[in-house]
Amino acid sequence: MSESIGNSGKGTKLHTKILLGLLIGAVVGIAANQLLGGDHAAVVWVNKYLAGPVGQIFLRMLFMIVIPLVFASITLGVAGLGDLGKAGRVGGKAIAYFFASTALSATLGLIIVAAVRPGESLDPAIRESLLQQYAGDASSRVEAAATSTFGIGTIVNIVTRNPVKSAVDLDLLGIIFFALMFGAALTQIRADRAKPMIGFLEALNDVVIKIVGFAMRLAPYGVAGLIFGVTSAFGFHLLKPLAAYVLVVIGALLLHVLINLSAILRFLVGISPMLFFKRIRSALVTAFSTSSSSGTLPTALAVAEQNLGIPPQIAGFVLPLGSTMCMNGTALFEGITVIFLCQVFGVDLTMGQMVVVMIMAVITAIGAAGVPGGSIPLLVGILTMFGVPGEGIAIVLGVDRILDMSRTTVNVWGDLTATAFVAKSEGLWNASMVPAVEGLDRGASDESPGWPPPMQRP
């Protein structure tokens, strides 16, 4: 096994390179916005022909492998659990945790936004300016909301008619259901008949993880390109009028991590929150830069197995579910945004209505796509329930990318916390099993093609 970069002195650790890419992209982007302006020809050219393509190639490499990774991981996770009773128990624990932690985060967000009331401080003139500036984008989101509402149809549609079409459409819920059924069926046939298929899926999983390694070598450059695009276009000017709203969302996200998730890690999982953070930071940086729980899934799986030592059958089962259903950050963001926009438009909510907002935030967050901006169409649907015009979403669209990056980071943190919780509750893992050396730092240099290490399955 190759030596850790940090110990070998031959290069910089991968997560450090990604953080440097983030910092450089942000600084250069803000400088370009302040000195030249977001619509300057040079800035537009760099975004169109350099930063944008590099960032999109990085994102596409991650999205390219999401479907095969989800299918292989969940199928192997169910098959690895051995029987349907155990799979049902693990799945039940995971889903119960997803709902409980997401409700906890949404409630925290509502309490904070109700106390601070950031919407009352927004100048009406600025409100009208933002509505006009983003009217076109808001209209497309309102139209998308018509087909993105969460209801009984969403539950029915989880049972996919055509798994191939679900794969083409990036319908993760449909793929997850098909993988669950496929894995369950594998446990019901003779072992000699199931063995070739399990072997194929293990090989597929290993190939996909190797592709993750290729993508992560591009990550520092892709992250720099993505961040440059955001900061060069918007700079600071949109943060100023919406500073209170942004600070409330980010502050609430931090409190959820520092209080709620840290308490779960300390008392229910039995691991130091600081150690947990150190071991999952590669996944958090990927989540922050891509704004996609689904796109972060390959890195999160590698982090869970290599850096935390969580058994593959648990990580491969819980994490794909979590990337679609465990949306702590999204629920918190949605609840705050609904209350904020109600305050902006002068809509007073009763306590009962705020409870409804919390419930809807949880349900729609779970139903949101794990891709950049995936929660916005569903959020429009909640706004219209309380008399706020759907076009009002335009007010927050300018800062949504920054908040999307932040809430996705919390989503992924919650996914990994859920995985550790389930593994601990099943008696298959505890904090003493965390490897002494971070697996994702071994062989992460450009000179070593071995990253990430192959996943070992029982």
Which uninterrupted H or E stretch holds 407?
Answer: helix 394-425
The answer to whether 47 and 228 are in contact (CB under 8 A) is yes
- Best mean pLDDT range from 175-189, 346-360, 379-393, 431-445: 175-189
Q: What is the pTM of this model?
A: 0.69
pLDDT score of 162: 92
Instruction: For residue 118, give the DSSP letter.
Output: G
CA angle 150, 154, 155 (to 5 degrees): 120
- Best mean pLDDT range from 70-74, 116-120, 235-239: 116-120
Work out the average pLDDT over 105-111.
Answer: 92
Which uninterrupted H or E stretch holds 95?
Answer: helix 84-116
Say if residue 423's pLDDT is above 90. Answer: yes
pLDDT score of 87: 74
**Comparison of pLDDT for 365 and 10, the residue scoring more:** 365
CA angle 395, 404, 352 (to 5 degrees): 65
pLDDT score of 443: 40
Work out the average pLDDT over 34-50.
Answer: 89
pLDDT in tens, 217-229: 887 888 788 878 8
**What's the pLDDT band for 449 if we cut at 50, 70, 90?**
very low
Give the percent of the chain with pLDDT over 70.
78
DSSP string, 172-215: HHHHHHHHHHHHHHHTTS-HHHHHHHHHHHHHHHHHHHHHHHHH
**What's the pLDDT band for 138 if we cut at 50, 70, 90?**
low
Say if residue 297's pLDDT is above 60. Answer: yes
Strand-pairing partners, residue 442, are 4
Say if residue 36's pLDDT is above 60. Answer: yes
Give the percent of the chain with pLDDT over 90.
25
d(CA 257, CA 368): 21
Q: Which residues, other chains included, contact 232 with Cβ-Cβ below 8 Å and sequence gap of 6+?
A: 28, 29, 30, 32, 33, 38, 43, 46, 47, 51
**Comparison of pLDDT for 252 and 68, the residue scoring more:** 252
Q: Provide the angle, in degrees to the nearest 10, between the axes of the packed helices 293-302 and 191-234.
A: 120
pLDDT score of 7: 35
Strand-pairing partners, residue 4, are 442
pLDDT score of 450: 35
The answer to whether 8 and 206 are in contact (CB under 8 A) is no
* Domains within the chain, CATH numbers bracketed: 5-441 (1.10.3860.10)
d(CA 209, CA 203): 10
Say if residue 368's pLDDT is above 70. Answer: no
**Comparison of pLDDT for 351 and 43, the residue scoring more:** 43
**What's the pLDDT band for 129 if we cut at 50, 70, 90?**
low
Say if residue 314's pLDDT is above 70. Answer: yes
